[in-house]
């Protein structure tokens, strides 16, 4: 075999540097001089077109984890991950019916203000705190994934790789607010989709038989298998887990997580918010299919060349970019992957800062002058950038990084979704009962996450086994436990109910 470069060539490095400088300067264009309101900083004055919000949702959902780890899933498995994307579409429909109308009945800046209206200030702060913990933990894994790409490309260590990207992203997010986040997302999405298409085209030129050879080789190895029908709760990617688990996962991630809700609230009206959300689901499905196809193609290529043995699934795509893509194209791909990373990081910083400001600080200091609010919002953005940097350094653990990130988020998403469903589907749920239910939901999901494998124990001389439940079911289980315990606990505390979501049923 011919020798391959271990790092990017000069022309590729120049492209990466040009991208980093260009996207930072582009984001800084949305900086405003003088005083601006929180609505302007966190929601871009609700004056963004639906298609930009749609592309921003897709970009925020597509982190570096997605681009480098989803191909790894097809490398070591098949197209079963797409079953989750089917559930994502169903979950978006439920959100459009159940949650979005309530978000647009008030001047809300965060999802958790709605909980405060329905239940009270304690649960408002509790759900917001849950979001801060979950988003910071999950984002730490995503930020660390950048180090995999940058380290393979230019050989820098984890700290240097993450620091460079974090500082540049912080700069335009700090200055431009949500408008900078949305519009840089649009640019970055076009870049990483273009880069992925170029990567697929390059693969086809290297595989004997081209496109047909890729499909034939992948099909012969059953890499293109999509549907797995099984009710086993231990299998991660089955049709049932994908449609049902994926539906609940999306209801939580896009219906209760400030990272996504903030984008939906930035739409001009309810109709455009719904269109943006539903259209993003269709784009996500085809985008995941593209990444999985790249993974299957990589397996065919390296199996043919005899270089498949010993490759880490999460590193196989970055290695291909650096070693096998032509000069210039490799730089484009690295820039594309960094685009996804910066898109997700900027979204996380803005949503974490908005929740910290609106859900925690302003309720305690409602008369804070607008100028001071602006300074504090930027200070919180800076603080969260430091927190995510530290968490990224602590996120080095085994497994597919995309699964690690989703499983961490799923631990808390279940309880969060359960609280929103309690507030939406019944008026009998009260604050104290909902808090008890949320604690129960988090506790159950923590047990599922910490359980390393199937547990065996003996009861009355009989051996029993508790299986290791796949993470795709965790949100559903957490939400159901939260609803059941929360509703039952509410019946034990007969208090006068004075708050309710608009149009909540009298059950």
In a domain, 187, yes or no: yes
Q: Which residues pair with 473 in a beta bridge?
A: none
Nearest to 64, CA basis, from 2, 148, 145, 158:
145
Show the domain range for 396.
Answer: 10-491
Q: Which secondary-structure segment (H or E) carries 466?
A: strand 462-466
In a domain, 416, yes or no: yes
In a domain, 499, yes or no: no
- Tell me how far CA of residue 167 lies from CA of 17, 29, 173, 346, in angstroms: 14, 17, 10, 11
Our separate counts of H helices and E strands in the chain read: 21, 2
**How far is the C-alpha of 65 from the C-alpha of 44, rounded, in Å?**
27
- 152 HSE (CA, 13 A, CB side): 23
- Per-residue pLDDT tens digits of the chain, which is 507 residues long: 444 444 667 788 888 888 888 888 888 888 766 556 777 777 777 888 999 999 999 988 887 667 778 888 888 888 988 999 999 999 999 999 999 998 888 767 788 888 888 898 999 999 998 888 888 877 777 777 666 666 656 666 667 777 777 888 888 887 777 888 888 888 888 888 888 898 899 899 988 888 999 999 999 988 998 888 888 888 888 899 889 999 999 999 899 888 888 899 889 899 999 999 999 999 999 999 999 999 999 998 888 776 655 667 777 887 787 777 777 777 877 787 777 777 778 888 888 988 899 898 888 888 888 888 888 888 898 899 888 888 777 765 544 444 555 566 677 889 999 999 998 888 889 999 999 999 999 999 888 887 755 455 555 555 555 677 888 888 999 999 999 999 999 998 765 444 545 544 433
The per-residue pLDDT for 476 is 93
**How far is the C-alpha of 311 from the C-alpha of 299, rounded, in Å?**
10
**How far is the C-alpha of 5 from the C-alpha of 7, rounded, in Å?**
6
Question: CA 281, 174, 41: angle at the middle one, nearest 5?
Answer: 65
Contact 175, 421 (CB under 8 A): no
Joined together, the tokens standing for residue 71 give: 């191909």
CB atoms within 10 A of CB 100: 22
Nearest to 169, CA basis, from 34, 349, 12:
349
> What φ, ψ does residue 467 adopt, rounded to 5°?
-70, 160
- Tell me how far CA of residue 362 lies from CA of 45, 197, 355, 468, 476, in angstroms: 19, 46, 10, 42, 33
Joined together, the tokens standing for residue 135 give: 């988003």
Query: Domain with 457 in it: what CATH number?
Result: 1.20.1730.10
Contact 294, 71 (CB under 8 A): yes
The count of structural domains within the chain is 1
**How far is the C-alpha of 11 from the C-alpha of 20, rounded, in Å?**
14
**What does DSSP say about strands 462-466 and 455-459: parallel, antiparallel, or unpaired?**
antiparallel
CB atoms within 10 A of CB 462: 7
CB atoms within 10 A of CB 201: 12
What pTM does this model have?
0.83
The per-residue pLDDT for 4 is 47
In a domain, 412, yes or no: yes
Place of tokens 């390296």: 302
Nearest to 289, CA basis, from 461, 66, 41, 21:
66
Contact 109, 270 (CB under 8 A): no
CB atoms within 10 A of CB 214: 25
In a domain, 154, yes or no: yes
Contact residues for 39 (Cβ-Cβ < 8 A; gap 6+): 45, 46, 107, 109
**How far is the C-alpha of 249 from the C-alpha of 479, rounded, in Å?**
10
List the end-to-end C-alpha distance of the chain, in Å, as a whole number.
70
In a domain, 191, yes or no: yes
DSSP labels, 192-243? HHHHHHHHHHHHHHHSTTHHHHHHHHHHHTTTT--------TT-SS-HHIII
Contact 152, 4 (CB under 8 A): no
Joined together, the tokens standing for residue 298 give: 């990589």
Joined together, the tokens standing for residue 476 give: 């559903």
CB atoms within 10 A of CB 126: 21
The per-residue pLDDT for 316 is 82
């Amino acid at each position: 075999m011919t020798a391959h470069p271990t790092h990017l060539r000069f022309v590729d490095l120049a492209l990466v540097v040009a991208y980093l400088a260009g996207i930072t300067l582009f984001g800084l264009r949305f900086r405003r001089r003088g005083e601006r309101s929180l609505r302007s900083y966190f929601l871009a004055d609700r004056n963004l077109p639906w298609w930009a919000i749609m592309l921003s949702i897709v970009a925020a959902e597509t982190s570096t984890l997605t681009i480098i780890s989803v191909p790894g899933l097809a490398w070591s498995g098949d197209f079963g991950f797409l079953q989750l994307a089917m559930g994502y579409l169903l979950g978006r429909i439920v959100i459009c019916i159940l949650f979005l109308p309530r978000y647009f009945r008030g001047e809300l800046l965060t999802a958790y203000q709605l909980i405060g209206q329905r239940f009270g200030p304690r649960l408002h702060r509790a759900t917001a705190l849950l979001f801060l913990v979950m988003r910071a933990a999950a984002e730490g894994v995503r930020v660390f994934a950048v180090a995999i790409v940058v380290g393979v490309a230019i050989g820098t260590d984890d700290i240097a790789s993450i620091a460079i990207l974090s500082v540049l992203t912080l700069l335009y997010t700090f200055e431009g607010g949500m408008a900078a986040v949305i519009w840089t997302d649009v640019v970055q999405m076009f870049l990483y989709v273009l880069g992925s298409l170029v990567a697929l085209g390059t693969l086809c030129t290297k595989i004997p038989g081209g496109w047909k050879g890729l499909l034939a080789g992948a099909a012969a190895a059953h890499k293109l298998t999509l549907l797995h029908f099984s009710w086993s709760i231990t299998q991660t990617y089955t049709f049932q887990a994908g449609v049902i688990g994926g539906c609940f996962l999306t209801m939580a991630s896009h219906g209760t997580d400030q990272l996504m809700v903030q984008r939906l609230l930035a739409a001009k009206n309810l109709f455009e918010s719904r269109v943006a959300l539903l259209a993003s689901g269709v784009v996500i499905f085809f985008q995941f299919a593209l990444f999985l196809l790249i993974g299957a193609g990589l397996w065919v290529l390296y199996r043919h060349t005899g270089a498949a043995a010993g490759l880490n699934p999460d590193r196989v795509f970055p290695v291909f970019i650096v070693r096998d893509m032509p000069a210039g194209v490799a730089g484009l791909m690295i820039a594309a992957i960094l685009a996804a990373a910066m898109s997700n990081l900027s979204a996380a910083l803005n949503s974490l800062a908005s929740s910290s400001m609106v859900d925690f600080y302003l309720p305690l200091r409602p008369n804070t002058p607008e100028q001071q609010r602006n300074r504090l919002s930027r200070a919180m953005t800076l603080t969260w950038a430091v927190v995510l940097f530290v968490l990224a350094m602590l996120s080095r653990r085994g497994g597919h990084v995309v699964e690690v990130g989703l499983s961490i988020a799923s631990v808390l998403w279940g309880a969060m979704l359960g609280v929103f469903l309690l507030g939406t589907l019944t008026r009998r749920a009260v604050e104290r009962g909902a808090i008890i239910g949320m604690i129960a939901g988090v506790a159950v999901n923590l047990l599922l996450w910490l359980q390393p494998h199937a547990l065996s124990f003996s009861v009355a001389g009989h051996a029993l086994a508790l299986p290791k439940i796949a993470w795709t079911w965790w949100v559903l289980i957490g939400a159901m436990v939260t609803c059941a315990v929360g509703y039952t606990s509410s019946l034990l505390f007969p208090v006068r109910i004075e708050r309710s979501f608009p149009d909540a049923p009298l059950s």
